[in-house]
Amino acid sequence: MMLHRLRHELNTPAIKKFRDFYISAAILFVTPLVLQNQFLVGTLVNAILIRSGIRHSDEQLLLASIVPSIGALASGLLLANLTSHLALMIPFIWLGNLSIALISRYFFVNQKRNYFASTFFAAGIKTIILLAAAFLLLQFALVPVEFLTIFGANQLITGIFGAILAFFIIKHK
């Protein structure tokens, strides 16, 4: 009887949502540590950020937005010899991650817009933020020119693929 009650208490909607968030946060941290392919990491991270934007609170999104870049910086593998320059981009990455989650939520959930229009637009805004930051830092010779591709076209591609993956994850639930 006590075990049944405990199972019931652990399966309340609030506990499920709490558990879901921390599993997502763990995946966001571990993904850059174990995968060394920028496209796979970016797609998975963007999918989880979009899904988190739709499902979780603003406070949780702040944490979710910073976790992937900490994992990437800790691993040192994702950008290989360019990782040392990544530290300068971290605040912009956090802002970009937060933007893809919040903008997706705003247009898809709050404004009831088309899912793909909402998330693709959010991916575009994230890309603009990151590309502008990389361009600005490049002007001061603080980052290599490769960052324009990494934080430009690659971000847009992984943002769009992440939106498509998130759609199937959300639809499957």
Number of compact structural domains in the chain: 1
pLDDT at 85: 81
Write down the mean pLDDT value for the chain: 90
d(CA 116, CA 163): 7
pLDDT in tens, 21-72: 889 999 999 998 888 888 999 999 999 999 999 999 999 999 999 999 888 8
For position 80, which CATH number holds? 1.10.1760
pLDDT at 7: 63
d(CA 28, CA 105): 19
Residues 84-99, mean pLDDT to the nearest whole number: 92
pTM equals: 0.88
Domain that holds residue 76: 2-172
Residue with tokens 């405990």: 6
DSSP H or E stretch at residue 130: helix 115-139
pLDDT at 91: 96
Which tokens is 9 given? 């208490």
Going by pLDDT thresholds of 50, 70 and 90, the confidence category of residue 163 is very high
Amino acid of residue 87: A
d(CA 95, CA 12): 32
83 has pLDDT over 80: no
